[in-house]
Amino acid sequence: MKNLIIASTSTIHGSGYLEYILEELAVFFKNSNSILFIPYARPGGISHDDYTKIVAEAFAKINKTVKGIHEFENPTEAIEHAQAIFVGGGNTFVLTYHLYKNNLIETLQTAVKNGTPYLGTSAGSNICGLTIKTTNDMPIVYPPSFNALAFVPFNINPHYLDPDTNSTHMGETRETRIKEFHNFNTPPVIGLREGSWLQVEDNSIILKGTLNARIFEYNKAPYEVAPETQLNHLK
Amino acid sequence: MKNLIIASTSTIHGSGYLEYILEELAVFFKNSNSILFIPYARPGGISHDDYTKIVAEAFAKINKTVKGIHEFENPTEAIEHAQAIFVGGGNTFVLTYHLYKNNLIETLQTAVKNGTPYLGTSAGSNICGLTIKTTNDMPIVYPPSFNALAFVPFNINPHYLDPDTNSTHMGETRETRIKEFHNFNTPPVIGLREGSWLQVEDNSIILKGTLNARIFEYNKAPYEVAPETQLNHLK
């Protein structure tokens, strides 16, 4: 019954919030009039209210109403009764910290298992993997665990960025970082470029958008896969 | 009795390992014939032996011998008896994990307090701050805490990178990330550009190298400081 869109980013360059994927979302959320928004990742430290307002404005264009989880007295019940769920981007550590703090990990897992449509962007996609160990974010708070929601049997690296061959900067490239991940962990990692997403329906996982994704498997050279590729063999 | 060099990076573009700072290190380590190297951060997953070999080759140029902490049966005693300590770069989470695992946090704090010269580069500099919450690294292992060695009363952001105004990438800039840190934490953060270092002698903390550093204080606009600026007021 799983039904997810796991998107690299909410926003692509030169386009409004969720604009590039809005038509897709109209189809994805066709059976939901209202969407429960989880604003915990707070990009740039924005308030839960202000973040929810931005999301509500975007979804109004496809005639969906949005309510923030912070507006409910009981966040567990809010998820249990949600027609659909959207977890937005921001800081993955802050997001994970608040999901654990509010005891929502299992609640989210049960809701998604039961078929509640789930949209994630950026940090909200990171947490769909096995762990948050391939986030790009700064660890500004200490979560009780790096284990995530495990909606897919691998890890996600959103905002995947190819090495800049002109750079004189000596910090690690994204590819180097993911290779380091594989010195200590075995699950595959999907590098999702901005504008790409994974469409998950039960056991089917398909790359969507116009760009290739980069796949990092343990003890294998990284490789590219094209849009419409089935990724359900990865684990 | 504190005596530290906290460097943004081991290597600047177009130059060999530690080359840009080697003359400085000859002075800094003038009373030490041998240096204890802590290779735990393992850049690119390099082995402790291979990493130590690279470091030994660099220090041979200023007539210092180098031994890796992994070559000692008892790492605590290795630190207690060290003439000087160098903690190299790599992954800050892996480094922190191994320092906790081997129970070396307090041992390092005591050694540095007693005057053992300490050189850190990159991850080895990150851990000189209050916490590792301003690292740029991927959280590929889960350490028991984000608390670090607290040799200085603020946080370090090594490899500090100015926003790329030509970029179409939607991931957060370094400055945005550090501002997000200040939504949840109050200590100052020093953004150390590659080629810069902090020279710490007791309570004196001076910015060295040819570049400005960028200072982020809680509830203040970020600002630049020039080389030779005293930073001991920051806390």
> What pLDDT, in 10s, does the model give residues A42-72?
998 999 999 999 999 999 999 999 999 999 9
Put simply, whether A135 touches B (Cβ < 8 Å) is: yes
Answer whether A39's CB lies under 8 Å from A30's CB.
no
Cross-chain residue pair A177–B42, CB shorter than 8 Å: no
Answer whether B234's CB lies under 8 Å from B153's CB.
yes
CB-CB neighbors (< 8 A) of B172 in chain A: 43-44, 137
Cross-chain residue pair A168–B13, CB shorter than 8 Å: yes
In whole angstroms, what separates CA B66 from the centre of its chain? 18
Helix (H/G/I), strand (E/B), else coil: A59: helix
CB nearest to B169's CB, from A132, A140, A194: A194
- Report the distance separating Cα B10 and Cα B159, nearest Å: 10
Nearest Cα of chain B lies from the Cα of A84 at a distance, in angstroms, of: 26
ipTM score: 0.92
Phi and psi at residue A102, in whole multiples of 5°? Answer: -90, 10
Put simply, whether B141 touches A (Cβ < 8 Å) is: yes
Cross-chain residue pair A181–B135, CB shorter than 8 Å: no
Cross-chain residue pair A140–B132, CB shorter than 8 Å: no
Nearest Cα of chain B lies from the Cα of A71 at a distance, in angstroms, of: 21
Nearest to B35 by CA among B82, B90, B99: B82
CB nearest to B140's CB, from A45, A138, A180: A180
Q: What is the pLDDT along chain B (235 residues), one digit of tens a residue?
A: 899 999 999 999 889 999 999 999 999 999 999 999 999 999 989 999 999 999 999 999 999 999 999 999 999 999 999 999 999 999 999 999 999 999 999 999 999 999 999 999 999 999 999 999 999 999 999 999 999 999 999 999 999 988 777 777 767 789 989 999 999 999 999 999 999 999 999 989 999 999 999 999 999 999 999 999 999 999 8
Number of helical H runs and strand E runs in chain B: 7, 11
Q: Is B202 a catalytic residue?
A: no
Put simply, whether A166 touches B (Cβ < 8 Å) is: no
CB nearest to A138's CB, from B140, B169, B177: B177
Domain ranges (residues) in chain B: 3-225
Helix (H), strand (E) at residue B171:
none
- Report the distance separating Cα B51 and Cα A104, nearest Å: 42
Q: Domain B3-225 classified CATH 3.40.30.10? A: no
- Report the distance separating Cα B125 and Cα B193, nearest Å: 12
